[in-house]
Amino acid sequence: MRTSSFCCKNKLLLAALLLLAQQPIQSCFAVDRSKFRTCGQTSFCRRHRNGHSESLYRYKLDPTTLVFTDPGIVASDLAELEKNQGAEKDTPEGGEVEDKSNGLWNRISRVITGNSDGSKDENLGHENDPNVRGPKPILNGLLVNTASETSTGGVENLDLSIHLHKDGVARVRVKELYEGVSYDGGYTKRFDPRWTSDELILNSDEMIGTSSVTLSSGGGENSDDALVKSLVEKIDAAESSNVENFVVLSYDQQNDNNNDVGGKVYLLLQLDPFAFHMFRKENGGEIVGPIVSVGTQQLMHFEIRRPKHSDDPTEDEERRLEEEPPADTTKDNKHGDKEIVGYWEDGLAIYADGTREEKPVEDEEEMEHRKLLEAQSPDLDKEGMWEEKFGQFTDTKPHGPMSVGMDVIFGKSQHLFGLPEHASSLQLLTTHGDGSHYRDPYRLYNLDVFEYELDETMALYGEVPLVVSQSEEFGTAGVFWFNPTETFVDVEEVNGDKKELRTHWMSESGVIDIFLLPGSNPQNLYQQYAHLTGRVALPPMFSLGFHQCRWNYKDERDVYNVHGKFEEYDYPYDVLWLDIEHTDGKRYFTWDNKLFPNPVEMQDKLASQGRRMVTIVDPHIKRDNNYYIHKQATSEGLYIKDNTGKKDFDGWCWPGSSSYLDFTSERVRSWWANQFSYKKYKGSTPNLYTWNDMNEPSVFNGPEVSMQKDLLNLDGIEHREWHNLYGLLFQRATSEGLVQRNLPDQNDRPFVLSRSFFASSQKYGAIWTGDNESKWSHLAIAAPMLLSMNVAALSFVGADVGGFFGNTDAELMTRWMQAGAYQPFFRGHAHHDAKRREPWMFGEETLERLRKAAMARYALTPFWYTVFHEASVTGMPVMRAMWMQYPQISQLYSTDDQYLIGSDLLVKPVTAAGVTQSNVLFPTSDNWYDVDTMKQMSSSPSDAAKVTSLSVKSGIDKIPVYQRGGSIIPRKLRLRRSTRMMTHDPYTLYIALDKKLCASGSLYMDDEHTFDHERQGIHATANFDMKVDYDDDGSISFIRNVVEFGLGLTSEGSSIVESVDTS
């Protein structure tokens, strides 16, 4: 995000900017709330939140329609597809997983996560819905809307399907019936099925078959009254006599080798009113639950599409296409006679006379209307159903209201996590009901929010619709709401004395597609989630080092000077970044020949000293017929269209007038990937990697600084249906390009940083928290934000060190560098109006502190790499909330100012000025050792205490970091200037003994940059175990360090220890 640099559309814009630069600059670093909608200003959210569901939507499951079938392949050629995709299998020993379906190399070889273009793969779809791909459901049925009055005035039945996964996951999917939609007793012509995404990894061999499932009902032919009654009593003892109203699907949890793992899952379906509950049983123990209950509050809401002006949707669509396109909103009367020559990132116009548009001041009538909306008056429920205006923009809604919603209760849980990205606490706080912390739901809608505020539920750059519950009694459970449309989620305390938490999911469109993850602990849950969305890609080693960025290093001389200073001061770094100014007029894949005349020589110079470079490549394309990218994209029809489907969409971003590529199309993604070839991207080398920014997508003159929802992709699908996927698909296409550019001779792993994200972004690269500020409060919120992203399995994440906006002082920079060294993605960045803040800019004393922090990071790169490998195998996050490692300690559930790296390092960043002491919570089940002094921390005086709080020293030279007793952590201690220079350095093992004087750990190794660990199995894992015995006199001899030399790699992946020095 940037604020004051803009490529001109013409000389008028340049002149306007020069005039504007002479005016006083006033910046308050506060978001313009008038540009972003609340739930009260969003018609579908109002309808859901105001209890609209209770009167118009009341469903029952018709038991006579239930069909119990064996899951199989929807089409014969899907088997071949899955064969080429590969599958995730455990080794016979139950150890490492050979990651085939998640390996980017294997995906490039054939196809990415299935058929990505449903319109061209109708043979893979159900007869009535070509958008449904993958395995068949094990159970189908009909949901009947029994409400006395429906939203359409006619029959509104829905299709229910249930998939059961071997790992215990249950998928419940609800969609429209497409053979016809009833209105007033008659039937309209068939609508096209609702578009759905296929960004999940769903293979038939991961499904449970009928032979492994017991279908039980109460009082029927297949009755098991005892089982049904026992489960019903757990949800409502009063219903236990009504067992005929329930059906149970029970099944054993299995691993990837089809072996039972001792767990059992029960899915209890309530017929009327429709609801369902998940229970869990572990290793012959008692049945616990319901761990998740869905629909019990009767908030299920499914708006049937119907025509806008007529009884015939086909005629209505034809009428819409014949209408003239909307008037140019940039010529609104509010601008008077002033000529608009550009837009700022906040969406305000730049005028030819050098002035800029002022932030709008609402008139009293508009303000009163907004208050009514935010008060959620039921009288306003129908406003905005067929057309909705926000600011100067009108959403035409050609299909009318299409929203879906559902309530989900997490049994006996007071602690929910997830739903990134929000600048708020790790724990989800209440948004509804008496005494709620927030008044607006968590919003999930990827947006370029200029100067975002803290402690808010406002949407930010990315989203993952996953909620994880943690409780002492029921353990870990999760719900994944697979819907990429705009979504709001309320959190409310319900059920009186039980004090359980309810989430209320409200999405603008799509279908109800909900995955219940049974857990029962964090390790199991993240394996389950990884089976759905994939595991984090193992990053190349260099990307775990320090990245130096600024908007902008202005020319080659500047680059060489910065690089030379790092060399001069022996300060380690791995990557130097270039922002938008390196291009020729914001034309991506080009270089400004005056500022960067020799880009290859520049990259080669840095590479010769172990460094790489990154350039920014955004999704908006400058509309210039002399620009080869735009010319080819136009001729091949690769751009998103306006709402008529006839013209390329034209919006404003950094280059001025821009069009946006349709990354929902596999054809466009393939074309984009090809642009990274060295022949096409002139001046690029194998040492150049990529930064994807502005990919929410950001449109300066669009509604909420994004695209209109009624724009169309190349298949004619509205933008509202796939908005939250855009950034993910853009990053995915870029990652593919960085792999393909080296084929067939090389198979280097890619590195791509993205600002926007969705579920499964972990497979394609790194994510950062966007444009933060140089304030202590933004340093403090970084850990909760990053932990929330890790809850959603996004492990390769970081916050800009030093803050993007504003100026930082020496103390804040020191504390931020210390904290950043213990975040997965470690990058310093700054706005071009900020003072230069390279490490040597703060004086010699501060330089030494910053170097010390960076050296600590580099020493731990073997540990970071090993933890990332673990994440790529198990799905467990890299940066872990305390409860992930200690799920039985409720005192840690709300903790988000300290965290763990893997299972072995506890980090407590210092996030306030003048701090000399910090309070750290230590789980007493483990010993803890200060990594600097190697001294053991005091234990709790009581064996019964699960946590002890200690005040520890944390002066300016100290960040509190502790190694867990019982762990062995590998380090490399020789000071080098980059990770490449450290490749052949020896390892030092840091051994921290547990209460039994034992320790264990591992070290993962490969060539650190290619896919050979996947393709050829060239990698090694060294496992270490240590036990210390008492001498006869009761004394203990401690090992000071262990230095390992000559650990070789073989094609079988074994390790060879040639010598060990245990001096």
| Residue positions annotated with a catalytic role | 693, 696, 771
The two three-digit tokens of residue 802, written as one number:
């030093």
Alpha carbon distances (Å) from 937 to 855, 922, 944, 964: 24, 9, 17, 10
Query: What is the CB neighbour count within 10 angstroms for residue 792?
Result: 29
Q: Are 31 and 390 in contact (CB under 8 A)?
A: no
Q: How far apart are CA 984 and CA 974, in angstroms?
A: 11
Alpha carbon distances (Å) from 701 to 18, 157, 619, 656, 707: 21, 41, 16, 10, 9
CA–centroid distance for 690 within its chain: 19
Closest by CA position to 158, among listed 128, 178, 139, 138: 178
Alpha carbon distances (Å) from 519 to 479, 480, 713: 10, 13, 38
**Residues forming a β-bridge with 861:** none
Q: How far apart are CA 864 and CA 928, in angstroms?
A: 19
Q: Are 678 and 685 in contact (CB under 8 A)?
A: yes
CA–centroid distance for 844 within its chain: 39
The two three-digit tokens of residue 1044, written as one number:
């390992």
Beta 575-578 vs 546-548: how paired, if at all? parallel
Alpha carbon distances (Å) from 92 to 169, 207, 255, 1000: 23, 20, 11, 22
The two three-digit tokens of residue 350, written as one number:
């730049």
Query: What is the CB neighbour count within 10 angstroms for residue 17?
Result: 18
Q: How far apart are CA 756 and CA 737, in angstroms?
A: 18
Residue 312: strand, helix, or coil: coil
Q: How far apart are CA 444 and CA 852, in angstroms?
A: 39
Distance from the first to the final alpha carbon of the chain: 53
Q: Are 431 and 437 in contact (CB under 8 A)?
A: yes
Judge residue 34's burial from the number of C-beta atoms within 10 Å of its C-beta, 0-12 exposed, 13-18 middle, 19 or more buried.
middle
Q: Are 840 and 564 in contact (CB under 8 A)?
A: no
Q: Which residue has the tokens 């995730």?
A: 88
Query: What is the CB neighbour count within 10 angstroms for residue 24?
Result: 4
Q: Which residue has the tokens 């026992």?
A: 230
The two three-digit tokens of residue 433, written as one number:
């009901």
Sequence-ordered alpha helix ranges (H) in 792-898: 810-820, 844-859, 861-874, 882-885
